[in-house]
C-alpha cells in the first residue's frame, strides 16, 4: 500500500512537471515591433502604404494593423508584406481622413504606437520637386483643375499650373497653407468661416499634400461687403443681448436684399482677451454666438489686439489661440474684380505675460515680404482693399498724422504704390475717413475708412441707457456696407436699429447743458482729477442762449457737403469743430461719473472731429439741414426749433 501511495505521488509530480513544461513551451513569442510612424500619412483611398522598420523589429504577416479614429472606430488593415527593413499595409475602403491612434494586434494583445493624421488623396500622377514640402491640386467643384491660383504658406507664394497643381518649398513656420481665392470662386464654409486654408499636419521637412476645392460663382462682380468693427464680446455689460440686436439688424438688411451676393470682414477685437477665462468667453464661444445668429454669410477675420493672448511673452505665441480657432493672421483673397489683403498690424513681441499688453502698431517684415510676392500676381488696375485692425492715420486739428510704426508703414506704402488702395480699419471705436488728398502719402491714391464699431462704447452706453448705442464720438454702433460693382466701390454706414437714412444728428445747444447737479454722487471726497475730467463737459455745454446748432456727421469725409438754410431762406455757414457729443455725455458719461467717484471712468465721451456748428438768428428760427455724400446720396432734417434735448428722443424704437 505504501508503495502504491509513493507511486501515485511520483506520478502527480511528473504530471505537474510535464504541465509546466508544456506551458513554458506554449508561451507566446515576444511582441517587439518597432517602426517609424510619421505625423502625417498621405495615401490614396484603399491604397497601400509602406512603413520603415527600426532595428529589424518588423511585425508578423499574421498581425493586424489598426487605425482608431478620434470617435473610437477601429479600422483593421491587412499587412501585405513584411521584411526586416519595412512592411506594407493596405487601407480598408471605409476609413476617412483625420487623426488616428495606431495599434498592432497580435493574438489577444494590442500594442499602441502613437498618433498620426491620415490624409486620403487621389493619385494625381505628380512627383514633387526635391525640397518641396507642400504640394497639391486646386480644382473646381466640377473636378476641373484651376490654373493660376495663388497659394501661400505666408512666406512663400506660388501659383497653380495648367493641371491645377502647386508646390512650395516651405519651412511650415506658420503651420498653415492657404489659397488666395480667385475672383469668380468661393470656398466652403465652416459656419461663418470660409475654408480657404488648411492647418498643416506633417513635420517641417515632411512632404505634405494639401488639395483645395473651389466653387464657381457666376456674376460675382456685383456684391456687398459688410465691414464689422470691434465687437468685444466678453459675456459682460449686457453685450450678448445687444449683439443679438446687431445680428437681427444685419439679418433684416440681408433679407431685404435677397438674391444679392454678400460677404463680411470682421476688423478685429471679436473677443476680449482678459475675459477669456474669467468670463469663459473666448473664440469658441464667439463662434458659437455668431454661427447661431448669422446664416449664409462668410466672414473673413482680421486679428485685433484683444484677440492676442495677453499671457504670452512673444508675438507668435500670443497668436496661437486665434490661429487654432479662427485661421491665418494674414492672407489675401479676391471677390469679383477686387483684391483684398488682411494684415495683422498688432505686434506683441514685447508682451511680458501681464495685462500691460505692450503691443506696437506695426507690420512685421514677414508680412511685408509676403505682400510683395502676393501683389506680384495682381495687376495695378485692380483696386486693393487692405484690412487691418489698428488705424493707419489719425485726425488732428491740423489734418492727419501717421498713427503707425513709420518705418514699416512707409515700406508698406512703397509696396502698394501705383494701386488704388482702401485701408479699412477699426480699433479706435471712433469714426473718420481719409481721402487721397489728405493721406500725406504723396501722389498715392490711398484712402482710409476707420469704420466705427459694432460694440460702440464697449457695449456700455446701451447697458446704462438701453436704446442709446453710441461710440465715444457719438457715432452709433453699427457697420459699414460696401457696394461693389466691377472696380467701382461705394460705401455707407448703417446704424444698428436705425434706418439707412440715419446719417447725422443735430442738437439745439440752447437746450443742451451739463452741471455738477447731473452727478450728485460726486462730492467732497471725489479726487480733483476726476472732477476736472467731468468739468470738461460742463465747460463745453454751459447754460446759454447763443442760438448755436451742433451737427454730428459721423461718416463725413472732405468730399461730402453740408448745407444749412433757415426758414427765411438764409444760407448759414457751418464751421467745422472738434466737440463732445452731448447724447453720449448724457447716456454714458454722466452715469459713469455718477458711479465711479475715486477715478475717472473708462469709455467716456471723447472730443473728436466730424462736428459742425452754425449760428441761427434766434431761438425760434427753424433750419433745413442737408448732408450729401460723394455718391449723390442726400439726407435732410427739417429742424424745428427750439428742439428739446432728451435721451428718450434719441432711443431706438
User: Under the phi-then-psi rule, with left for phi > 0, alpha for psi from -120 to 50, and beta for the rest, what region is 603?
Assistant: left
Residue 230: per-residue pLDDT: 98
Q: Which CATH class is domain 219-495?
A: alpha beta
Task: Measure the CA–CA gap between 181 and 341, rounded to whole angstroms.
Answer: 11
Express each pLDDT in 70-99 by its tens digit. 999 999 999 999 999 999 999 998 999 999
The pLDDT of residue 116 is above 80:
yes
pLDDT, average across residues 478-485: 98
Could you tell me the pTM of the whole model?
Answer: 0.92
Task: Measure the CA–CA gap between 230 and 428, rounded to whole angstroms.
Answer: 9
Residue 13: per-residue pLDDT: 44
Q: Rounded mean pLDDT of the chain?
A: 94
Residue 6: per-residue pLDDT: 54
Express each pLDDT in 6-34 by its tens digit. 544 444 444 454 444 444 444 556 789 99
Express each pLDDT in 406-456 by its tens digit. 999 999 999 999 999 999 999 999 999 999 999 898 899 999 999 999 999
Residue 20: per-residue pLDDT: 47
- For every residue of 487-511, DSSP letters joined together read TEEEEEEEETTS-TT---EEEEGGG
Residue 16: per-residue pLDDT: 52
Write the DSSP symbol of residue 181: P
Cell of 302: 482680421
Q: Report residue 146's pLDDT band, with 50, 70 and 90 as the boundaries.
A: very high
Instruction: Give me the half-sphere count of Cα atoms (radius 13 Å) on the Cβ side of residue 30.
Output: 5
Residue 442: per-residue pLDDT: 86
* Topology given in CATH for the domain delimited by 40-120: Immunoglobulin-like (2.60.40)
Residue 102: per-residue pLDDT: 97
Task: Measure the CA–CA gap between 598 and 148, rounded to whole angstroms.
Answer: 62
Task: Measure the CA–CA gap between 199 and 192, rounded to whole angstroms.
Answer: 18
Task: Measure the CA–CA gap between 650 and 462, rounded to whole angstroms.
Answer: 12
The DSSP bridge partners found for residue 485 are 222, 488
Residue 24: per-residue pLDDT: 47
Structural contact between residues 606 and 473, judged by C-beta atoms closer than 8 angstroms: yes
Express each pLDDT in 279-328 by its tens digit. 999 999 999 999 999 999 999 999 999 999 999 999 999 999 999 999 99
Express each pLDDT in 553-600 by its tens digit. 999 999 999 999 999 999 999 999 999 999 999 999 999 999 877 899
Instruction: Give me the half-sphere count of Cα atoms (radius 13 Å) on the Cβ side of residue 548.
Output: 18
Structural contact between residues 588 and 604, judged by C-beta atoms closer than 8 angstroms: yes
Express each pLDDT in 191-242 by its tens digit. 999 999 999 999 999 999 999 999 999 999 999 999 999 999 999 999 999 9
Cα angle for residues 342, 345, 348 (degrees, 5° grid): 135
Task: Measure the CA–CA gap between 307 and 301, rounded to whole angstroms.
Answer: 11
Cell of 32: 517587439
Residue 525: per-residue pLDDT: 87
CATH among 3.30.1330.30, 2.60.40.1120, 2.30.300.10, 3.40.605.10 for 134-213: 2.60.40.1120
Residue 23: per-residue pLDDT: 46
Residue 439: per-residue pLDDT: 87
Q: How far is CA 202 from the centre of its chain?
A: 25
The pLDDT of residue 112 is above 80:
yes
- Are the folds of 40-120 and 134-213 the same? yes
Express each pLDDT in 491-520 by its tens digit. 999 999 999 999 999 999 999 999 999 999
Query: What does the domain layout of the chain look like in residue ranges?
Result: 40-120, 134-213, 219-495, 505-650
Residue count of the chain: 653
Q: List the one residue out of 652, 646, 543, 546 whose CA is nearest residue 586.
A: 646
Structural contact between residues 186 and 298, judged by C-beta atoms closer than 8 angstroms: yes
Structural contact between residues 470 and 454, judged by C-beta atoms closer than 8 angstroms: no
Cell of 310: 495677453
Residue 597: per-residue pLDDT: 74
Task: Measure the CA–CA gap between 198 and 210, rounded to whole angstroms.
Answer: 7
The pLDDT of residue 2 is above 80:
no
Amino acid at each position: 500500500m505504501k508503495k502504491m501511495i509513493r507511486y501515485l505521488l511520483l506520478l502527480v509530480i511528473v504530471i505537474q512537471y510535464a504541465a509546466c513544461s508544456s506551458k513554458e513551451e506554449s508561451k507566446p513569442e515576444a511582441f517587439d515591433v518597432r517602426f517609424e510612424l510619421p505625423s502625417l500619412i498621405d495615401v490614396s483611398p484603399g491604397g497601400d502604404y509602406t512603413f520603415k522598420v527600426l532595428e529589424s523589429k518588423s511585425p508578423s504577416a499574421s498581425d493586424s494593423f489598426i487605425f482608431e479614429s478620434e470617435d473610437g472606430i477601429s479600422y483593421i488593415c491587412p499587412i501585405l508584406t513584411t521584411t526586416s527593413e519595412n512592411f506594407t499595409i493596405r487601407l480598408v475602403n471605409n476609413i476617412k481622413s483625420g487623426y488616428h491612434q495606431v495599434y498592432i494586434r497580435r493574438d489577444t494583445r494590442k500594442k499602441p504606437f502613437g498618433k498620426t493624421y491620415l490624409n486620403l488623396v487621389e493619385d494625381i500622377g505628380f512627383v514633387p520637386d526635391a525640397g518641396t514640402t507642400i504640394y497639391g491640386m486646386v480644382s473646381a467643384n466640377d473636378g476641373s483643375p484651376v490654373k493660376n491660383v495663388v497659394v501661400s504658406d505666408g512666406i512663400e507664394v506660388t501659383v497653380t499650373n495648367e493641371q491645377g497643381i502647386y508646390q512650395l518649398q516651405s519651412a511650415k513656420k506658420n503651420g498653415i497653407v492657404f489659397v488666395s481665392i480667385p475672383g469668380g470662386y468661393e470656398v466652403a464654409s465652416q459656419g461663418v468661416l470660409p475654408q480657404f486654408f488648411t492647418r498643416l499636419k506633417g513635420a517641417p521637412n515632411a512632404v505634405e499634400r494639401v488639395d483645395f476645392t473651389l466653387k464657381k460663382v457666376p456674376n460675382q462682380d456685383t456684391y456687398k461687403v459688410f465691414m464689422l468693427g470691434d465687437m468685444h464680446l466678453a459675456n459682460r455689460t449686457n453685450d450678448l443681448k445687444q449683439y443679438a440686436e446687431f445680428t437681427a439688424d444685419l439679418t433684416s438688411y440681408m433679407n431685404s436684399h435677397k438674391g444679392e451676393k454678400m460677404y463680411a470682414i470682421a476688423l478685429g477685437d471679436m473677443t476680449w482677451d482678459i475675459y477669456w477665462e474669467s468670463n469663459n468667453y473666448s473664440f469658441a464661444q464667439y463662434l458659437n454666438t455668431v454661427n447661431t445668429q448669422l446664416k449664409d454669410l462668410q466672414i473673413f477675420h482680421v486679428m485685433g489686439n484683444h484677440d492676442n493672448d495677453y499671457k504670452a511673452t512673444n508675438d507668435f505665441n500670443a497668436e496661437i489661440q486665434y490661429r487654432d480657432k479662427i485661421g491665418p493672421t494674414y492672407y489675401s483673397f479676391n471677390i469679383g474684380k477686387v483684391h483684398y489683403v488682411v494684415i495683422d498690424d498688432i505686434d506683441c513681441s514685447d508682451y511680458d505675460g501681464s495685462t500691460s499688453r505692450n503691443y506696437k502698431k506695426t507690420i512685421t517684415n514677414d508680412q511685408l515680404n509676403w505682400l510683395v510676392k502676393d501683389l506680384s500676381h495682381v495687376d495695378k488696375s485692380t483696386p486693393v482693399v487692405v484690412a487691418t485692425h489698428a488705424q493707419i492715420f489719425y485726425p488732428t486739428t491740423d489734418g492727419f498724422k501717421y498713427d503707425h510704426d513709420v518705418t514699416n508703414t512707409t515700406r508698406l506704402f512703397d509696396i502698394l504704390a501705383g494701386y488704388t488702395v482702401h485701408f479699412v480699419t477699426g480699433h479706435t471705436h471712433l469714426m473718420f475717413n481719409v481721402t487721397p488728398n489728405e493721406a500725406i502719402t504723396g501722389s498715392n491714391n490711398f484712402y482710409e475708412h476707420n469704420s466705427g464699431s459694432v460694440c460702440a462704447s464697449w457695449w456700455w452706453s446701451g447697458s446704462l441707457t438701453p436704446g442709446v448705442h453710441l461710440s465715444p464720438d457719438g457715432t452709433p454702433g453699427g457697420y459699414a456696407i460696401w457696394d461693389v460693382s466691377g472696380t467701382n466701390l461705394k460705401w455707407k454706414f448703417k446704424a444698428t436699429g436705425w434706418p439707412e437714412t440715419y446719417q447725422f444728428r443735430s442738437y439745439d445747444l440752447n437746450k443742451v447743458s451739463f452741471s455738477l447737479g447731473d452727478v450728485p454722487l460726486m462730492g467732497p471726497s471725489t479726487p480733483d482729477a476726476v472732477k476736472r475730467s467731468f468739468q470738461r463737459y460742463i465747460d463745453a455745454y454751459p447754460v446759454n442762449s447763443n442760438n448755436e446748432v451742433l451737427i454730428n456727421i459721423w461718416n463725413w469725409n472732405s468730399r461730402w457737403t453740408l448745407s444749412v438754410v433757415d426758414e427765411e431762406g438764409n444760407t448759414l455757414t457751418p464751421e467745422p469743430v472738434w466737440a463732445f457729443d452731448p447724447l453720449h455725455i448724457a447716456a454714458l458719461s454722466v452715469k459713469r461719473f455718477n458711479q465711479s467717484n475715486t477715478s475717472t471712468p473708462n469709455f467716456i465721451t471723447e472730443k473728436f472731429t466730424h462736428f459742425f456748428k452754425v449760428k441761427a438768428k434766434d431761438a425760434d428760427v427753424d433750419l433745413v439741414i442737408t448732408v450729401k455724400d460723394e455718391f449723390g446720396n442726400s439726407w435732410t432734417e427739417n429742424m424745428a426749433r427750439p428742439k428739446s434735448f432728451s435721451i428718450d428722443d434719441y432711443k431706438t424704437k
